[in-house]
Copies of this chain bind each other. A is one copy, B any other.
Amino acid sequence: MSAVERPNEYVVPETMKAWVLGGPDQLSLEEKPVPEPGPAEVLVRIDAIAVCATDLEIISHGPPALIQGGLPFNKGFTPGHEYMGTVVKLGPAVDEFQPGDRVTVEIHAGCGRCERCREGMYTACLNYGMNYGDKNKGHRANGFTTDGGFAEYAVNNINTLVHVPDDMSDEEATLVVTAGTAMYGLDVMGGLIAGQSVVVMGPGPIGLMGVAVAKAMGAQPVILTGTRDARLEKGTALGADHVVNVRQEDAVEAVKRITGGKGVHYVLECSGAPNALNDAAQMVNRGGRICLAAFPSEPVPVDIAHLVRNNIYVFGIRGEGKSATHRAAAFMTQKRFDAKIIHTHTFPLDQVPTALKYARERIEDAIKVVVKMKPAEAMAAE
């Protein structure tokens, strides 16, 4: 389908540059062997990678869901999961992709052998983290439990790959998995949301993509709540019908006002605020549904009685299951929304620490900070 010619053979070096995690918050740029793709795997040359808040968490504290294998410190681990790139080498019997294919990646490759994977819930794989030595069940979570993308190359299970069209930039392609996570949240709540009312709480990257995806699916109205006007404006640009600055108006009151007292059908909670679940429960109508894509760090008081009395369902999600990333990529390919709006900064590979700092401290109101492997001039000369 593409008119762009690409080489079908790539010279892959034996070693590569990769950021390696020593102790907590200790990253160094090192030379590591380029990994070899096994069955159902390919080697991806990384072209760009975005920074996610979870990366910062992993680098400081280790991945929350890393059940087996302990903490990742001082094990030569390379973090980073929101990357895209070019297929440069195929594992045995792989013909689903070809060298030269531009791809972006999902995080999770399930083991394929546990009950959850067998029912298609691969992001809830029961062998999460089991990918080492004689416990290698085949689960992979890029940059969580297996090496990630702050490096020149990474091995990926083909289940995690999504094709990127030629007219989508590297930077935009790194955002597919974020949009896919938001879409998964909408899907687990039911998915058929054209004409239905949706609140998205929290204008971080997943929340903002949630607005865009909900709108692309036809939701009406889409209401975004948050604390910062600059972020809410991004939401408006991505399709929010209403934005509510919760510093100026009570979010529940605002939703009641906008919906004529009825409340909404769905809430996608992406803020992690302590009272978010209670607020969401007050926003939905009887029989409404709430998806939790974020969480407060400590236990918080929850009015369980309200959930039960109003027949409310609450879906905790982790990641981007049910191939939602492919559906999100389809919307982005069709240019239904401009994901690039949330891309704010770009750095080269050797400035990963700076990129992380921008993301962590929201310097210059950073939303999505992208690390691009090749300077623009180099790419132009290629």
A residues adjacent to B (C-beta < 8 A): 39-40, 64-65, 92-93, 95-96, 112-113, 115-126, 128, 134-138, 157-159, 183, 187-188, 191-192, 194-196, 216-218, 220, 262, 277-278, 285-287, 292-297, 299-305, 307-318, 322-323, 326-331, 333-334, 336
Report copies per complex. Answer: 4
- CB of B311 within 8 A of CB of A313, answer no
- CB of B299 within 8 A of CB of A40, answer no
- CB of A124 within 8 A of CB of B286, answer yes
CB distance from A363 to the nearest CB of B (A): 27
- CB of A113 within 8 A of CB of B336, answer no
- CB of A96 within 8 A of CB of B124, answer no
CB distance from A116 to the nearest CB of B (A): 5
Known A-B contacts A118-B122, A327-B194; the reply to A301 vs B304 at CB < 8 A is no
Whole-angstrom CA separation of A305 from B95 in the bound complex: 30
Q: Which 4 A-B pairs have the closest CB atoms?
A: A195-B330, A120-B120, A124-B287, A112-B112
Whole-angstrom CA separation of A330 from B198 in the bound complex: 14
Residues of B within 8 A of A305 (CB): 64, 295-297
- Which of B65, B220, B308 touches A330 (beta carbons < 8 Å)? B220
CB distance from A272 to the nearest CB of B (A): 9
Residues of B within 8 A of A137 (CB): 40, 93
- CB of B311 within 8 A of CB of A292, answer no
- Name the CB-closest residue of B to A305: B295
CB distance from A217 to the nearest CB of B (A): 7
Known A-B contacts A123-B311, A309-B65, A310-B316; the reply to A135 vs B187 at CB < 8 A is no
Residues of B within 8 A of A327 (CB): 192, 194-196, 218
Residues of B within 8 A of A287 (CB): 116, 121, 124, 126
Known A-B contacts A113-B40, A125-B286, A334-B220; the reply to A307 vs B329 at CB < 8 A is no
Residues of B within 8 A of A118 (CB): 120, 122, 159, 323
11 further interface pairs, Cβ-Cβ under 8 Å (given A40-B138, A310-B318): A93-B135, A113-B158, A126-B286, A192-B327, A196-B327, A217-B218, A220-B330, A295-B304, A299-B303, A301-B301, A309-B318
